[in-house]
């Protein structure tokens, strides 16, 4: 039920990877990394004393929420990314991979866009992208840390 490579023929597809076994699953919850802002009364959306809020923009954090009329223009600071990678001239510095992970994923983040880019989704591209299920390969290989993302097969955003 996971993506992997066949030992016999070297073919990659869903089902060749390690098989998951679920036992006594009543105490777990399966969620997505593309969660949404909680729904409910807008007045309750700005009452969390531990959550940071900002106006207009926050460096390195993409605005994915429109402030409600009752929020006085405040937007909750939510860090959704799980992998941040060095870009530009920083991509050639071996120390920047750790720096981007530590600084961009902290709360609040310190993530200058000229040095780091945070990704949360990867997909298969080119001929590799024509095979169903290869997006799963890209999610598994590219979103881990350290990332093992083949740029000729996968693209992350």
Where do the domains of the chain lie? 121-157
Q: Which residue has the tokens 């979103």?
A: 143
CB contact at 8 A, 120 and 81: yes
The pLDDT value given to residue 68: 61
Q: Exposed, middle or buried, 111 (CB in 10 Å: 0-12/13-18/19+)?
A: buried
The pLDDT value given to residue 64: 58
The pLDDT value given to residue 154: 95
Query: Is the Cα torsion angle 19, 29, 136, 90 positive or negative in sign?
Result: negative
Q: What is the pLDDT along the chain (157 residues), one digit of tens a residue?
A: 677 878 787 778 878 877 776 665 655 555 555 545 555 544 444 455 556 666 666 655 655 556 565 566 777 776 667 899 999 999 999 999 999 999 988 878 889 999 999 988 899 999 999 988 899 899 989 998 888 899 999 999 8
CB atoms within 10 A of CB 76: 16
């Amino acid at each position: 039920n996971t993506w992997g490579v066949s030992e016999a023929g070297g073919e990659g597809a869903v089902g060749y990877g390690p098989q998951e076994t679920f036992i006594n699953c009543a105490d777990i919850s399966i969620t997505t990394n593309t969660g949404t802002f909680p729904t409910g009364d807008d007045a309750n959306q700005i009452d969390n004393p531990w959550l940071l809020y900002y106006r207009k923009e926050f460096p390195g954090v993409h605005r994915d929420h429109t402030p409600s009329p009752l929020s006085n223009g405040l937007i909750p600071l939510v860090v959704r990314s799980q992998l941040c990678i060095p870009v530009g001239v920083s991509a050639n510095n071996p120390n920047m991979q750790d720096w981007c992970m530590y600084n961009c994923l902290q709360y609040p983040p310190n993530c200058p866009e000229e040095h780091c880019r945070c990704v949360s989704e990867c997909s298969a591209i080119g001929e590799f992208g024509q095979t169903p299920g290869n997006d799963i390969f890209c999610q598994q290989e590219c979103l881990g840390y350290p990332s093992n993302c083949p740029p000729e097969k996968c693209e992350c955003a």
